[in-house]
């Protein structure tokens, strides 16, 4: 009986070996003998999958933007900062005067102001004040209730 089983196993193994064919390996990567036409595709895949390179590029861009912003801030002189502050304060004072002329105790019915090339005109119409601001290139109109 043992001999029959051994003979059957040997027959099965021998028939399987006769049906087998050799394995043929063909590499994809041209560096290892694959087709040179695959090189561009492999490189694009590797680049798109490499998240570390993209993260590093974004980090470098952020660092460069920060450095440039700091350089712009330090290049502004103290005198120009002071001039900007004075200009802002003067414009705020002019805005207060215009607001008082429109809505103050002795409010006018209409009027026009010109400040640094910007024309501000106003008029009261039906309990509302229409304020038009024109800077020479564009114009904006705002309607505000008189008793706001």
Do the Cβ atoms of 75 and 81 come closer than 8 Å? no
Would 46 be classed as within a structural domain?
no
Question: Measuring CA to CA, which residue among 146, 111, 142, 103 is closest to residue 128?
Answer: 146
pTM of the model: 0.43
Residue 6 confidence class, pLDDT cut points 50, 70, 90: low
Would 69 be classed as within a structural domain?
no
Would 30 be classed as within a structural domain?
no
Q: How far is CA 92 from CA 13, 43, 82, 108, in A?
A: 99, 60, 15, 20
Would 40 be classed as within a structural domain?
no
Question: Measuring CA to CA, which residue among 92, 95, 93 is closest to residue 113?
Answer: 95
pLDDT digits (tens, 9 = 90+) for 102-137: 888 888 888 898 888 889 898 988 888 898 999 888
- Is the pLDDT assigned to residue 49 strictly greater than 70? yes
Q: How many domains, in total, are found in the chain?
A: 1
User: Left if phi > 0, otherwise alpha if psi is -120 to 50, otherwise beta: which for 136?
Assistant: left
């Amino acid at each position: 009986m043992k001999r029959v089983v051994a003979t059957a196993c040997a027959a099965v193994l021998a028939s399987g070996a006769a049906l087998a064919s050799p394995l043929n390996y063909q590499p994809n990567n041209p560096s290892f003998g694959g087709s040179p036409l695959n090189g561009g595709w492999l490189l694009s895949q590797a680049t798109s999958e490499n998240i570390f390179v993209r993260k590093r590029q974004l980090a470098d861009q952020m660092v460069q933007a920060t450095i440039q912003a700091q350089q712009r801030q330090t290049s502004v002189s103290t005198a120009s900062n002071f001039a900007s502050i004075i200009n802002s304060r003067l414009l705020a004072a002019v805005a207060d005067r215009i607001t008082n002329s429109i809505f103050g105790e002795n409010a006018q019915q209409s009027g026009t102001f010109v400040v640094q090339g910007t024309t501000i005109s106003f008029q009261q119409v039906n309990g509302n004040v229409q304020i038009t601001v024109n800077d020479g290139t564009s114009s904006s109109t705002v309607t505000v209730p008189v008793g706001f």
